[in-house]
Structure 1
Amino acid sequence: MNTLTSWMDSKQSQASLWQRIIGTDRFLAWVAAGSVVLFVATIVLSIFDSRLITGAPAWIKPMKFAISTILYAGTLAWMLSFVKGYPRLVRWIGGLTALGLVVELAGIFFQAGRGVASHFNVSTPLNAAIFSLMGTFVMVIWVMNVATAVLLMRQKMENRPFAWALRLGLLVTAVGSILGFMMTQPTPEQLAALQAGETVSVVGAHSVGVADGGAGLPFVGWSTEGGDMRPAHFVGLHALQLIPLLGVFVNRRFNTRLSEGRRTALVAIGGLGYLGFVLLLLWQSQRAQPLIAPDALTLTVLGGLVGAVFLAAMAVAAKKRIEPEKLTVN
Structure 2
Amino acid sequence: MKNPRAVDRLCHATGLFLILSGLAHLVVFAVDGGPWYGPVSWRKPITFGLSFGLTLAAITWVTSYLRVSPRLRAVLLLVFAADCVVEVGGITLQAWRRVPSHLNMETPFDTTVSLTLAVGGGVLVALLTVFAVTSFRHRPAGPVGMPLAVRSGFAILLVALASGAAMIARGVVLTRTGHQEAAYHSTAPLKPLHGVSLHAVLVLPALAWLLSRSPCSERTRRRIVATAVGCYAAAVAGAGVWAMLTY
The separation in 1 between residues aligned to 2:95 and 2:152, in whole angstroms, is: 35
Question: Which among 149, 155, 162 is matched to residue 146 of structure 2?
Answer: 162
Name the amino acid aligned to 2:92.
Answer: F
Corresponding residue for residue 157 of structure 2 = 173
* Structure 2 residue aligned with 1:32: 15
- 1:85 to partner: Cα distance: 5.5
TM-score normalised by the chain length of structure 2: 0.81
1:163-194 CA distances to partner (integer Å, 9 max, x unpaired)? 2211211221121121111112336x938x82
| 8 Å CA contact retained: 2:19, 2:51 | no
Could you say what secondary structure the match of 1:25 adopts?
A: helix
The 5-angstrom pairing of residues 231-310 of structure 1 reads 231-248=192-209, 255-256=216-217, 258=219, 264=222, 267-268=225-226, 270-288=228-246
Q: Paired residue for 2:82?
A: 99
Q: Is the 8 A contact 1:122 1:203 kept in 2?
A: no
| CA–CA separation in structure 2 for the residues paired with 1:131 and 1:278 | 28
The 8 Å contact of residues 39 and 184 in structure 2, kept in 1 or not, is answered as: no
Deviations 1:213-262 (A, max 9, x none): xxxxxxxxxxxxxxx21111110001112221343466566842727xxx
Partner of 1:122: 105
- Which residue pairs with 1:315 in the alignment? none
Q: Which residue of 1 aligns with 2:25?
A: 42
Q: Distance in 2 between matches of 1:253 and 1:173?
A: 27
In 2, Cα distance between equivalents of 1:242 and 1:66: 18
Letter in 1 for 2:82: L
Alignment partner, residue 225 of structure 1? none
Secondary structure of 1:123's counterpart equals coil
Instruction: For 1:196-215, list aligned pairs within 5 A.
Output: 199-201=178-180, 204-205=183-184, 207=186
**Which sections of structure 2, spanning at least 5 residues, go unmatched?**
none
Q: Matched residues in 2 for 1:257 and 1:265: separation?
A: 9
Q: Does 1:63 align with 2:46?
A: yes
* Greater helix share, structure number: 2
- Report SS of the residue matched to 2:113: helix
4+ runs of 1 displaced by more than 6 Å? none
Per mean C-alpha deviation after superposition, the further-off stretch among 122-131 and 110-119 is 122-131
The one-letter amino acid of 2:90's match is G
Alpha-carbon contact 1:185-1:204 (below 8 Å) kept: no
CA shift for structure 1 position 31: 1.5
**Does 1:90 find its partner at 2:79?**
no
8 A Cα contact 1:179 1:229, kept in partner? yes
Alpha-carbon distance change, 252 to 51 in structure 1, aligned in 2, over 3 angstroms: closer
Alignment partner, residue 76 of structure 1: 59
Q: Is the 8 A contact 2:144 2:208 kept in 1?
A: no
Distance change >3 Å, CA 118–CA 270, structure 1 → 2: same
Distance across 1 between alignment mates of 2:106 and 2:37:
14
Counterpart-to-counterpart distance in 1, 2:214 and 2:13: 34
Please tell me whether the aligned partners of residues 19 and 54 of structure 2 are also in contact (alpha carbons under 8 angstroms): no
Q: Which amino acid aligns with 1:236?
A: S
SS of 2:99's equivalent in the other structure is: coil
Larger Rg: 1
1: distance between equivalents of 2:211 and 2:61? Answer: 19
What's the C-alpha RMSD, in Å, of the aligned pairs? 3.2
Percent of pairs with identical residues? 24
Deviations 1:137-174 (CA, angstroms, capped at 9, x unpaired): 12212222222223333155263521221121122112
The structure showing larger relative contact order (alpha-carbon pairs under 8 Å, at least 6 residues apart) is 2
TM-score, scaled relative to structure 1: 0.63
1:109 to 92, 105, 109: 92
Partner Cα distance (1:23, 1:152) in 2: 23
One-letter amino acid matched to 1:244: P
